Amino acid sequence: MKPLRLTHVPGCWVSQKLPSGQEERRGIVKMAIAKESEDQLQVHWFSPEKKLAYVDASAVHSGFQNGMDVVDETPGSGVLSLGQGVIMQQRTLAGSEQVLVDFPERGERHWLSPPL
């Protein structure tokens, strides 16, 4: 049985360290391909160069940045979506990436795990 984990969704931002270790590239997931061994992602990279490429899902991490607009799309679990918000802060807690999102219409802030 596969362990439970967050999955990449089309439209989510990801980043990846370049082989030099000095820079990171950022892009948007266009498609996720589930495989038995390891999931593959088709990513449209924007920086440092623009190109479409396939990468292992384990090779990327969150590409969200402070100030980005996001939408909470809670999967059909009977829980209402928090709506549209703005990323205020980021952290890694116990090895898990999280973003602090301000939901101004609700007057609430929540730490959420990006879809990775």
Domain that holds residue 93: 69-112
- What pLDDT is stored for residue 4 in this prediction? 39
Please tell me the total count of domains within the chain. 2
pLDDT in tens, 17-35: 888 888 899 999 999 888 8
Q: Do 113 and 4 touch, CB atoms closer than 8 A?
A: no
Distance, CA of 65 to CA of 49 (rounded, Å)? 19
Query: Would residue 95 count as lying in a domain?
Result: yes
Answer whether residue 7 is part of any domain: no
pLDDT, residue 104, reads 95
Q: Render pLDDT for 7-18 as a digit per residue (tens, 0 to 9).
A: 677 888 899 988
Same domain, 34 and 55: yes
Same domain, 53 and 35: yes
Is residue 34 domain-shared with residue 57, that is, in the same domain?
yes
**Rounded Cα distance, 100 and 1, in Å:** 32
Q: If we measure between CA atoms, which residue out of 69, 66, 60 comes closest to residue 105?
A: 69
Same domain, 85 and 103: yes
Report which of 6, 15, 34 is spatially closest to residue 113, judged by C-alpha positions.
Answer: 6
pLDDT digits (tens, 9 = 90+) for 99-109: 999 999 999 99
